[in-house]
Amino acid sequence: MPKPSFFHRYANPAEFLRLHAALLPIAVAMGLLTGMLGLYGGLVVAPADYLQGEAVRIMYIHVPAAWMSTLIYAFIALASATFLIWRHTLAELLARQAAAIGAVFTLITLLTGMLWGKPTWGAYWVWDARLTSMLLLFFLYLGYLGLASMAPYQERTKTACAWLAIVGAVNLPIIKFSVDWWNTLHQPASILRSGGPSIHSSMLVPLILMILSFAFLFIALLLVRAETALKQQKLRRLQIQKIARKNAALEEPL
């Protein structure tokens, strides 16, 4: 019998928990290290913007949170597709646990964007394409979480959540390219662009460090939430088996 591939091997909860034990301390350590370096670079070393002044420092929270908001949703859509194709229950569990984290990152994106928008645009909120599509992403997260909470252990609900995540992924390229397709107040891409980043290295380096810190934070939180969910599932199975044995014992003739 052929050995299972890496992908299928770690779809096994027992193998995943072993991988979890190795990855969690690394993710926590790297998240703390890059976070401390990024905050120091962004708040102390990096200069204030010549137009926005000190308000530009909100960028070191807003931009990483925005990146993670979209990347986590892409992860959820990919995990959902994996669940639909191969029926890997662990993929569905990871998608469900990632959704709450993604919703928090999206909320942070919206709130910091409002704080940044007031001194920059003169208003906390404007209905431009980038802000509207990001608000829609937040509603997609809430919709996914609401649907998953209705009956999270029914196969029909898992399938519905997976399709919702996949269909909602259509919003991701709209978020990314909205500043190019429509006239918005947001500036065009400054990091991932042809010709290289347009940000000076004194600001770019701490920004990249903060993006890495948020990514490691997501990995650590996902690992913790997934471990907790797997243990809860195991506990429920044991409780069901105990109840079944008790009922069987009561039904036995005297």
Q: What is the CATH number of the domain that holds 177?
A: 1.20.120
What pTM does this model have?
A: 0.90
Domain contains 155 = yes
pLDDT tens readout for residues 2-37: 445 555 665 677 788 888 889 999 999 999 999 999
Give the integer Cα–Cα distance in Å for 10 and 6.
6
pLDDT tens readout for residues 137-185: 999 999 999 999 885 558 889 999 999 999 999 999 999 998 888 777 7
Are residues 42 and 58 in contact, defined by beta-carbon separation less than 8 angstroms?
no
Domain contains 236 = no
In DSSP notation, 95-151 reads HHHHHHHHHHHHHHHHHHHHHHHHHHHSSS----HHHHHHHHHHHHHHHHHHHHHHS
| Total number of domains constituting the chain | 1
Residue 217's alpha-carbon distances to 5, 64, 105, 222, in angstroms, are 27, 11, 11, 8
CA-based nearest residue to 63, from 89, 40, 30, 38: 38
Per the structure, the complete domain to which residue 99 belongs is given by: 12-181+200-229
Domain contains 60 = yes
Domain contains 252 = no
Identity (one letter) of the amino acid at 132?
T
3-state secondary structure of 185: coil
